[in-house]
Amino acid sequence: MYIGLTGFMASGKGEAAETLKKLGFNYCSLSDVVREEATAQGLKNTRENLIKIGNELRAKNGAFYFAKKIAEKVSAKSDKDWVIDGIRNPKETKELYKLAGFKLIGLSAKPETIIERILSRKREGDSITKEQILEKLDTEKGVGQPEDGQQVAKCLNMADFLIVNEGTKEELQSKINHFVNLLNGIERPNFHEVFMGIAYAWAERSTCLRRKVGAVIAKESQQLTAGYNGAPKGLAHCKDLGGCLREKLGIPSGQRHEICRGTHAEQNAITQAAKFGINIDGGTLYCNTHPCTICTKMIINAGIKKVVYDSDYDDELSKQILGEQKELEIIRYEGLRPRQIHQMVN
């Protein structure tokens, strides 16, 4: 079994690796290749030097270079289970997926949590101010970086299992154990994973030309209603009218929601409940995207108590409203990625 780790600094990759090692996995890192090169050049193994040399090696040999080297190493010892750390570019991920049964765990945390951890651990080579940490975090995300450089945010989107590491070491260990037990057939997907998988399945019905979104409302471990984004019933879809009106008008994502023929997935899930007389008060809404301002107001007034979302959406007013209210809990999804859920079901 091959399990890869990707994630931002101070998101818990080291602890995840230790947990897997305790489960019998052998450890290696793509950074080993970079460290060897840094040592050969007589440079200290600081984060800055490793990033610089890593980008240079990728530019010279291809973004998949480190992954190819490590894949050769672990393939020679295929009788062992391996945890492969230090994955920072999508091409590295694609190269490692050539290993039979390879799975990728992605770890993330809020910027505030990352800043607190780095400032408190006082590790040599760490940034010492909030501004420096945020700058390095942007670098890891891929801001201003070449395509073959660090692109951790894109790697997280390719993960088979997502972990939002905001809790204790014990909670992180429990999440890692859950994933390994899923792979070994010991555990079943939890309800968060199942309902998010269903939300993604409904998103496949979307007719939106910009973003496919699906939503599910559940209560007491039962699905109540669902929806996807697209034109109202009986009306022509945007593709039948020559394209997206918002695109034609140059309206950025997250703004001027009223200029759109489509109804959002969350809105459709709520109106379906109203149509069929289904009580969604106190329910949980699962959506593959963070709700917009309009959806947020509807969700609050519908009495929904929790929203679980998978990907972010650039709508500052929505986040401002959510920060002001206390009735609705909104959490970032973590667990099996939908494609993995569907594979297990099939």
- 284's CB contacts (< 8 A; 6+ apart) are 195, 217, 218, 219, 304, 305, 306, 307, 308
Nearest one of 185, 184, 163, 183 to 174, comparing CA atoms: 163
Helices (H), 204-337: 245-249, 265-276, 293-301, 316-324
- DSSP secondary structure string, 10-67? TSSHHHHHHHHHHTT-EEEETHHHHHHHHHHTT----HHHHHHHHHHHHHHH-TTHHH
For helices 338-345 and 191-203, what crossing angle results, to 10°?
A: 100
Strand partners, 108: 164
The active-site residue out of 135, 266, 327, 334 is 266
36 given a catalytic annotation: no
Catalytic residue annotation:
266
